[in-house]
Structure 1
């Protein structure tokens, strides 16, 4: 099962994705052009440790132990990509705050 919805945070629009998989659910909240946050299924180290992927400047953060989109928005990010840190989004940044920083980066 796949559920896709639109949400608004501080005037910015994001898409939420819930993908039901065997024995788990994948949760993602994405900005249209900048980046996304995701549950622990995202391997941040894979992005950061590969020179080719670092060069792509993928902006992504991962929260752990979440079981819903709301929990993903409220959780501190456990890991973020190097490109995410360049926007000022560090581990510990709350998911919704990270998304707003991503959206604001487009305005610059």
Structure 2
């Protein structure tokens, strides 16, 4: 099952996507600038093989719901996210607000 729904954070709209797969769930929250995602995100790949795309993204591990993704500390972030002031340890909400 795939669930797509808009969410508002401090007056700014984002898109939450939940993809339920066998034995795991993929979670993302995004806007036109970037996104945060569950542990399935490979930040190393984005920073190396896809660096030319300048992807703004952060990853939180151990999360199972969108609410957890929003409140969990980011375990890793892309180089492009760092350029916006997004850092490891920042919550998902804090990171998303730097993407506006």
Q: TM-score range by the shorter chain?
A: over 0.9
For 2:53 and 2:20, the matched residues in 1 are separated by: 28
Deviations 1:71-106 (A, max 9, x none): 000001000000000000011111001001101xxx
Is the partner of 1:25 in helix, strand or coil?
strand
1:40 — aligned with what? 39
From the two aligned structures, give the one with the greater helix fraction: 1
Q: How many residues align?
A: 100
Match of 2:56 among 29, 54, 59: 59
Deviation for aligned residue 1:49 = 2.0
For 1:49 and 1:92, the matched residues in 2 are separated by: 22
Point out 4+ residue stretches in structure 1 off by more than 6 angstroms: none
2:85 — aligned with what? 88
Deviation for aligned residue 1:55 = 1.9
Root mean square deviation, CA, Å: 0.6
2:14 — aligned with what? 14
Deviation for aligned residue 1:54 = 1.3
Is the partner of 2:99 in helix, strand or coil?
helix
Is the partner of 1:3 in helix, strand or coil?
strand
2:67 — aligned with what? 70
The runs of 5 or more residues in structure 1 that have no matched partner are 104-108
Is the partner of 2:4 in helix, strand or coil?
strand
Q: TM-score, normalised by structure 2?
A: 0.97
